[in-house]
């Protein structure tokens, strides 16, 4: 079985890399990740202590949902983690204004809609997708490396869609 978060490349995709430590040791306190019903939640240790007094079967969501494990045990990031991960992202992609709406409807990013991409982004690397105005729109996986993006056809897919802020409207019943 492949490790969670890998796509057969032999290495996991890490959108924020070593910056994960900055999420745990914050100036306003210590935060942690907890697994609850196949979902990973991000919460402060204060909130964790308060949640311990509630029975597990009665607990809906102990913090902010960062993602969930699928039935095949792969981890899938949730759009609810975007506000926490975007400031620490190592690899970023900016989309042109004409392609923002397409991405927010759940479509992949084409080369013709690519505004900029972080240098040295590897193929299958996790990326945070931004508008040209630096507003985080969602998550994706680089379909091509930075060097390949320069040479490909304008209709080639350069970023695979993973999650976007449009999911707040499309899936409002299931987001926790």
Tokens linked to 24? 């745990």
- The C-alpha atoms of residue 170 and residue 175 are separated, in whole angstroms, by 10
Residue 150, CA atoms < 13 Å, CB-side half-sphere: 6
In this prediction, residue 16 carries a pLDDT of 64
Query: How would you write the pLDDT of the chain (176 residues) with one tens digit per residue?
Result: 333 444 444 444 556 666 777 777 778 888 888 888 888 988 888 888 887 888 877 777 778 888 889 999 988 888 888 998 898 889 999 999 999 999 999 999 999 999 999 999 999 999 999 999 999 999 999 999 999 999 999 999 999 999 898 877 776 666 55
Contact 130/94 with Cβ under 8 angstroms? yes
Spatial strand order of the sheet with 39-44 comes to 25-26, 29-36, 39-44, 64-69, 75-77
Per-residue model confidence (pLDDT) at position 112: 94
């Amino acid at each position: 079985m492949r490790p969670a978060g890998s796509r057969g490349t032999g290495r996991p995709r890490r959108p924020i890399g070593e910056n994960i430590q900055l999420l745990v040791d914050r100036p306003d306190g210590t935060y942690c990740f907890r697994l609850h019903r196949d979902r990973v939640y991000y919460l402060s240790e204060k909130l964790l202590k308060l949640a311990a007094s509630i029975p597990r079967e009665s607990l809906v969501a102990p913090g902010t949902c960062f993602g969930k494990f699928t039935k095949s045990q792969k981890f899938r990031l949730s759009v609810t983690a975007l506000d926490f991960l975007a400031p620490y992202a190592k690899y970023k992609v900016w989309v042109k204004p004409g392609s923002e709406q397409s991405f927010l409807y759940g479509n992949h990013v084409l080369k013709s809609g690519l505004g900029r991409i972080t240098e040295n982004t590897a193929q299958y690397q996790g990326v945070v997708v931004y508008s040209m105005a630096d507003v985080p729109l969602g998550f994706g996986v680089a379909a091509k490396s930075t060097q390949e993006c320069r040479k490909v056809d304008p209709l080639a897919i350069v970023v695979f869609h993973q999650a976007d802020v449009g999911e707040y409207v499309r899936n409002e019943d299931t987001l926790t």
